[in-house]
């Protein structure tokens, strides 16, 4: 999460060497989108994830490097200063409230309206921590937050049939696919143990093939 006393993380140290990590907001969004792509194999996701975050750097052939580096990336992406949001019944949100791809236009418009920031000009520059802080700080009057409010409103509490139908129509129009929360999707996508195990298996296969 964003800190006012230290710079956002952009590097990862391992065995005396320092590796740059690209944690620009658009890189992270591409990564999260990649994890939900059922057409890409587990190995393909792992390989593309490494390219997204580490680019063309020569990386060590050590599964622990990937385990620890992705633990760091996971913490940066998922950290929240206030914990998980709860619904009115006190439990974790049961449905996905927004989608970075589907809601891209609303997020863009809201950043431009409230902050005067053109996110297209910030690609490759604005750190994920900064993006998240600004996203969380969007006012209820912004386009994005109005959509979120529509999705969260409980139609069962509306007595007027016309108003209730209007809300249901709006919720259907702005609906997002999936039943998992954004945090659950990120946790699934950032399973560093699985990534490490996959790399370990691939490394072992490569070594056997070379003998």
- Provide the strand spans (E) within 15-78: 17-20
Domain that residue 117 falls in: 104-182
Same-domain status, 159 and 194: no
Same-domain status, 133 and 200: no
Angle at 199 between CA 196 and CA 202, to 5 degrees: 150
pTM of the model: 0.79
Residue 95 maps to a domain: no
Same-domain status, 146 and 206: no
Q: Name beta bridge partners: 92.
A: 86
- Separation CA 109–CA 115 (nearest Å): 10
Residue with tokens 């993006």: 131
Hey, how many other C-beta atoms are within 10 angstroms of the C-beta on 84?
A: 10
Domain count, the chain: 2
Q: Looking at residue 91, what is its pLDDT?
A: 34
Report yes or no: 62 and 30 within 8 Å, Cβ to Cβ: no
Counting every residue, how long is the chain?
Answer: 211
**pLDDT tens digits in sequence order for the chain, 211 residues long:** 888 899 999 999 999 999 999 999 999 999 988 988 889 888 888 889 999 999 999 999 888 999 899 999 989 998 888 765 544 443 334 346 888 988 999 999 999 999 999 999 999 999 999 999 999 999 999 999 999 999 999 999 999 999 999 999 999 999 887 544 445 545 554 454 555 555 555 555 545 544 4
Same-domain status, 109 and 161: yes
Same-domain status, 114 and 176: yes
Residue 99 maps to a domain: no
Same-domain status, 175 and 203: no
Same-domain status, 124 and 147: yes
Residue 128 maps to a domain: yes
- Separation CA 134–CA 154 (nearest Å): 27
Residue 22 maps to a domain: yes
Report yes or no: 52 and 31 within 8 Å, Cβ to Cβ: yes
Angle at 116 between CA 53 and CA 108, to 5 degrees: 50
pLDDT tens readout for residues 111-135: 999 999 999 999 999 999 999 999 9
Same-domain status, 178 and 189: no
Residue with tokens 């409980």: 154
């Amino acid at each position: 999460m964003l800190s006012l006393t230290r710079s956002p993380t952009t590097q990862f140290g391992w065995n005396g060497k320092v590796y740059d990590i690209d944690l620009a907001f658009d890189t992270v969004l591409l990564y999260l989108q990649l994890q939900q792509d059922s057409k890409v194999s587990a190995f393909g996701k792992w390989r593309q994830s490494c390219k997204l975050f580490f680019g063309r750097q020569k990386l060590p052939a050590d599964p622990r490097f990937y385990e620890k580096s992705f633990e760091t990336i996971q913490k940066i992406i998922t950290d929240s200063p206030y914990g998980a949001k709860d619904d009115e019944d006190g439990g974790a949100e049961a449905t996905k409230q927004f989608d970075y791809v589907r809601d891209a236009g609303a997020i863009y418009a809201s950043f431009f309206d409230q902050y005067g920031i053109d996110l297209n000009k910030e690609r490759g520059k604005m750190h994920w921590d900064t993006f998240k802080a600004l996203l969380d700080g969007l006012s209820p009057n912004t386009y994005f937050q109005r959509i979120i409010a529509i999705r969260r409103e409980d139609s069962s509490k509306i007595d007027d049939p016309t108003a209730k139908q209007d809300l249901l129509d709006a919720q259907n129009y702005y609906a997002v696919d999936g039943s998992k929360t954004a945090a659950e999707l990120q946790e699934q996508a950032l399973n560093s143990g699985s990534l490490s195990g996959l790399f370990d298996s691939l490394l072992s296969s490569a070594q056997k093939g070379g003998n």
